[in-house]
Amino acid sequence: MSVFDNVKIKSFTRYKHQETRYKQRSMTNNQKPNNKFDLEKRTTEFAKRVIRLCRALSRDSINNRLSGQGVGSAGSMGANYREANDALGKKDFLLRMRIARKEAKETMHWLECIEEANPEFKNRMQELKKECVEIKNIFSAIIIKVEKNNKKKKV
């Protein structure tokens, strides 16, 4: 049974790609296909990993400040991505994706600062920094693709 079975399809679609587009627009969040790649889950898991890292840090004035900033920006990446998925339109989507990308850049900054203040966590930080860069690159690719598609439609 397909996730599209419960979706009404307009009977007047001429081409298969139009029918597919209509199905995709008609799906709710509960009807998303089970893709192997789920960026919402990935960004949430990343934020959880940052939280676990910050809990392992020693408590002092520097780490308290760095931890708060790092956890806040890491959580905002996923939150803004989710907001983008529920955007009201393409402009709203692009705005929220750009904010998510900015939060990813900010998270990278705080991770580097945490690494500087806690050199004993250097090995653990490498995976987090790699994941942060990958998520930022995914956000950038999404933004570029949407902007490119918007330009094509205007011409």
19-32 confidence digits (pLDDT tens): 444 444 444 444 45
pLDDT band at 59 (very low <50, low <70, confident <90, very high): very high
Higher pLDDT, 7 or 90: 90
Four-point Cα dihedral 129, 131, 54, 124, nearest 10: -60
Range 110-118 average pLDDT:
96
Q: What confidence score (pLDDT) does residue 155 get?
A: 63
Report the alpha-carbon distance of residue 22 to residue 9 in Å, rounded.
7
Cα torsion for 103, 94, 21, 39, to the nearest 10°? 0
CB 132 within 8 A of CB 46: yes
Which pLDDT score is estimated for 19? 45
- pLDDT for 114 beyond 90: yes
**Among 5, 41, 47, 40, residue whose Cα is nearest residue 26:** 5
Which structural domains are found in the chain, ordered by start? 38-154 (1.20.1440.60)
Question: What is the reported pTM?
Answer: 0.73
Residues with Cβ within 8 Å of 117's Cβ and at least 6 positions away in sequence, in order, are 62, 63, 66
Whole-number Å distance between alpha carbons of 137 and 113 = 21
